[in-house]
């Protein structure tokens, strides 16, 4: 009983988008199911009997023509409403599918960043992406077909009970056996899908290695191709083995089902022959009605059994999909007690006894204390793995601290609406992106600006040279994802655009995580000067690799193993002859040499 309740609950959950986005569509669909399906069955079953009875009664040809026309007219008239509504149904179905898939993207945006590190999350995400739209459609289709079969069965059951009650016994026996077989097939399908999803994810990964531009140079010039082919072949063999294993199991069920169907047909034939011999069916027309009624009843009962097992299958898929939608997030859900409606910039930032660690990792930030004044320009340096990027992600609230607190303008970062907070925090990561949009749209991603402002920013950040060498303009598309004339950018040019787009808006806090690592030293120096100039009023935190570019920062913070090791101006830290001094002099020696 509990499983049945859960099954119908899952089906209702999957059908919910149809009711939410297409109430009229649902009502019209149910009308055709409840009214038209029984009418179809009655016309199909009784039409031959009417013709045969008319022949037996010696009716004239013209009479039979009229009867045939009435039957044909009834069949045509009942199909007109479906044909009239067909364009609407197609349009609405497409709209619902688009909105259902959009719900997955919305949920993905509401899931905390920490889940990105988990392969299990991507398995759940892949399952939702592959199955949610399909299972939603199947659930609604199931609802229509279930009601259609149910109302048809009620109609045909009434006819058969009057003519040949023993046929019902045959059907009940077949019903039980078919249900057991379909339950077995359904279990096989789910087990197969569980084993297949991780393999398909790996195959998809190798597909991306061969397909995406970002990997093309590596795969042509390094041993990566050997790894990719070996991985693809291994995963492909796994998929073949899984399909073979479960197809063998499925074949046994199919053979048994076919044998059961043949036996049922044999028993039916014997029953009908015996009834005729015994004189229980004396009218040929009645025999036709009985025969057709049984086969239609048999067909609908079989459909109903399949539908019940399909409901189990859909329900089990719904369980897997709901695992994705039931992921609990503490950050992106915005469930804060305090809703801040205004954030004044530039920000004052304070790290108060902050501690943080990743799951299944020895890395940790511990007891971090730091006060940053409004408008101050801070540079963070340190070796790889020191915690610099984690520092930035904590400020973006991609992760929450495990100890202590981060305050912005004296208020805990956790008390802000996270989406509102991020609207006031500009960020550029080292691995930044441009998108398959126009040059203008890429630059004005954070803030729509006038063409005059776009021209000024392009000149200031030397983006005009990119357009000039590509014979392009502001409307030219970046990347060649959709346009063969799109602009192909170098890594440094991508970073220039990422920095320029930040300067289209005023920020309370500006976070730059090695944003110019792909630039040549001269270009990086010029951009650093712009970022650290008085024209940039935002409180700014730069994670830097080339130390020469951040000499003019108000303060430089040296991080090591998750701790604040040193803090001061360039001159102060050089005088200490500590970690910063060691890093700076080694870099300087490399440049001089």
pLDDT (tens digit per residue) in 432-454: 888 888 888 888 888 888 888 98
Alpha helices in 212-283 (DSSP H): 213-221, 224-277
Share above pLDDT 70 across residues of the chain, in percent, rounded to a whole number = 90
> What whole-number distance in Å separates Cα of residue 57 and Cα of residue 38?
28
Residues in a beta bridge with 379: 542, 556
Lowest mean pLDDT among 75-79, 84-88, 148-152, 581-585: 75-79
Q: Of 258, 255, 249, nearest to 302 (Cα)? A: 258
Alpha helices in 282-405 (DSSP H): 284-325, 388-395
Angle of helix 213-221 relative to helix 224-277, nearest 10 degrees? 120
pLDDT for 316 beyond 80: yes
> What whole-number distance in Å separates Cα of residue 264 and Cα of residue 247?
26
Q: Of 562, 566, 557, 561, nearest to 365 (Cα)? A: 562
Lowest mean pLDDT among 171-180, 222-231, 336-345, 385-394: 336-345
Q: Of 551, 542, 554, nearest to 580 (Cα)? A: 551
Tokens 């989406």: give the residue.
Answer: 419
Alpha helices in 164-223 (DSSP H): 166-211, 213-221
Q: Tally the C-alpha atoms within 13 A of residue 475's C-alpha that lie toward its C-beta.
A: 0
> What whole-number distance in Å separates Cα of residue 8 and Cα of residue 312?
9
- What confidence category does residue 163 fall into, taking pLDDT thresholds of 50, 70 and 90? low
pLDDT for 168 beyond 70: no
- What confidence category does residue 273 fall into, taking pLDDT thresholds of 50, 70 and 90? low
pLDDT at res. 384: 84
Lowest mean pLDDT among 41-50, 379-388, 393-402: 41-50
> What whole-number distance in Å separates Cα of residue 189 and Cα of residue 77?
41
Angle of helix 284-325 relative to helix 224-277, nearest 10 degrees? 150
Q: Which residue has the higher pLDDT, 222 or 390?
A: 390
> What whole-number distance in Å separates Cα of residue 390 and Cα of residue 511?
12
pLDDT at res. 341: 54
pLDDT at res. 121: 81
- What confidence category does residue 67 fall into, taking pLDDT thresholds of 50, 70 and 90? confident
Q: What is the mean pLDDT of the segment spanning 118-143?
A: 85
pLDDT for 333 beyond 80: no
Q: What is the mean pLDDT of the segment spanning 345-359?
A: 90
Count of Cβ atoms closer than 10 Å to residue 247 Cβ = 12
Alpha helices in 444-520 (DSSP H): 451-460, 464-469, 491-502
CA R_g for the chain: 35
Residues in a beta bridge with 563: 560
Burial status of residue 520 (CB atoms within 10 A of its CB: 0-12, 13-18, 19 or more): exposed
Provide CATH code, domain 2-325. Answer: 1.20.1560.10
Q: What is the mean pLDDT of the segment spanning 485-503?
A: 86
Lowest mean pLDDT among 233-242, 286-295, 419-428, 536-545: 286-295
Which residues, at least 6 apart from 366, have a Cβ–Cβ distance to it below 8 Å? 355, 403, 562, 563
pLDDT for 161 beyond 60: yes
246: which 2 tokens?
């479960």
pLDDT for 419 beyond 70: yes
- What confidence category does residue 1 fall into, taking pLDDT thresholds of 50, 70 and 90? low
pLDDT for 289 beyond 80: no
Q: Tally the C-alpha atoms within 13 A of residue 22's C-alpha that lie toward its C-beta.
A: 23
Long-range contacts of 158-162 (CB under 8 A, 24+ apart): 159/45, 159/289, 159/293, 160/290, 160/293, 160/294, 160/297
Strand locations in 429-588, DSSP E?
509-513, 539-543, 555-560, 563-568
148-179 in b/e form (b: 16+ CB < 10 A) is bbbbbbebbbebbeebbeebeebbeebeeebe
Residues in a beta bridge with 370: 351
What is the SS3 assignment for 462? coil
Q: Domain coordinates of the chain in residue numbers?
A: 2-325, 349-434+489-592, 435-488
pLDDT at res. 272: 63
Q: What is the mean pLDDT of the segment spanning 140-154?
A: 86
Share above pLDDT 90 across residues of the chain, in percent, rounded to a whole number = 15
Q: What is the mean pLDDT of the segment spanning 491-520?
A: 84
Which homologous superfamily does the CATH classification assign to the domain defined by 349-434+489-592? Answer: P-loop containing nucleotide triphosphate hydrolases (3.40.50.300)
pLDDT at res. 173: 76
């Amino acid at each position: 009983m509990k499983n049945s309740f859960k099954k119908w609950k899952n089906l209702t959950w999957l059908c919910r988008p149809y009711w939410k986005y297409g109430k009229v569509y649902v009502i019209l669909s149910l009308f055709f199911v409840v009214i038209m399906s029984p009418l179809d069955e009655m016309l199909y079953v009784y039409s031959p009997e009417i013709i045969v009875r008319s022949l037996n009664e010696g009716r004239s040809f013209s009479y039979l023509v009229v009867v045939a026309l009435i039957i044909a007219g009834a069949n045509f008239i009942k199909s007109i409403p479906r044909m009239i509504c067909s364009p609407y149904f197609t349009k609405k179905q497409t709209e619902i599918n688009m909105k259902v898939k959009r719900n997955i993207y919305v949920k993905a945006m509401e899931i905390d960043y920490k889940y990105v590190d988990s392969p299990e999350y991507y398995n759940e995400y892949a399952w939702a992406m592959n199955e949610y739209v399909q299972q939603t459609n199947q659930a609604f289709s199931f609802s229509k077909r279930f009601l259609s079969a149910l109302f048809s069965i009620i109609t045909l059951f009434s006819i058969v009970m009057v003519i040949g009650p023993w046929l019902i016994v045959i059907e009940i026996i077949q019903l039980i056996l078919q249900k057991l077989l379909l339950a077995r097939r359904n279990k096989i399908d789910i087990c197969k899908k569980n084993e297949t999803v991780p393999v398909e994810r790996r195959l998809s990964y190798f597909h991306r290695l061969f397909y995406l531009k970002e990997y093309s140079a590596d795969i042509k010039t390094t041993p990566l191709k050997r790894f990719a082919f070996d991985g693809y072949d291994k995963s492909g063999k796994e998929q073949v083995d899984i399909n073979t294993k479960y197809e063998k199991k499925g074949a046994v069920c199919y053979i048994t089902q076919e044998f059961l169907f043949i036996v049922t047909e044999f028993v039916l034939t014997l029953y009908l022959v015996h009834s005729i011999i015994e004189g229980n069916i004396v009218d040929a027309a009645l025999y036709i009605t009985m025969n057709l009624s049984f086969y239609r009843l048999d067909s609908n009962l079989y459909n109903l059994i399949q539908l019940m097992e399909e409901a189990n299958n859909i329900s089990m898929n719904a369980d897997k999909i709901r695992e994705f939608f039931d992921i609990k997030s503490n950050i992106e859900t915005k469930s804060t007690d305090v809703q801040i409606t205004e954030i004044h910039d530039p920000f004052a930032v304070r790290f108060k006894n902050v501690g943080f660690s990743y799951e299944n990792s020895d890395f940790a930030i511990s007891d971090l204390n730091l006060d940053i004044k409004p408008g101050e320009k801070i540079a963070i340096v340190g070796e790889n793995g020191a915690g610099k990027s984690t520092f930035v992600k904590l400020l973006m609230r991609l992760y929450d601290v495990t100890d202590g607190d981060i305050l912005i303008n004296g208020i805990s970062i956790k008390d802000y609406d996270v989406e509102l907070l991020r609207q006031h925090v500009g960020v550029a990561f080292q691995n930044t992106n441009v998108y398959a949009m126009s040059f203008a749209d890429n630059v004005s991603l954070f803030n729509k600006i006038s063409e005059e402002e776009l021209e000024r920013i392009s000149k200031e950040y030397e983006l005009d040279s990119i357009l000039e060498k590509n014979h392009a303009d502001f409307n030219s598309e970046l990347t060649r994802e959709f346009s063969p004339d799109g602009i192909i950018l170098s890594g440094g040019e991508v970073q220039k655009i990422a920095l320029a787009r930040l300067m289209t808006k005023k920020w309370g806090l500006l976070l730059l995580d090695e944003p110019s690592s792909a630039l040549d030293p001269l270009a990086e120096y010029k951009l650093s000067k712009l970022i650290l100039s008085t024209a940039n009023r935002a409180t700014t935190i730069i994670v830097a690799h080339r130390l020469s570019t951040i000499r003019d920062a108000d303060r430089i913070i040296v991080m090591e193993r998750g701790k604040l090791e040193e803090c001061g101006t360039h001159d102060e830290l050089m005088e200490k002859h500590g970690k910063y001094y060691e890093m700076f002099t080694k870099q300087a020696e490399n440049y001089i040499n």
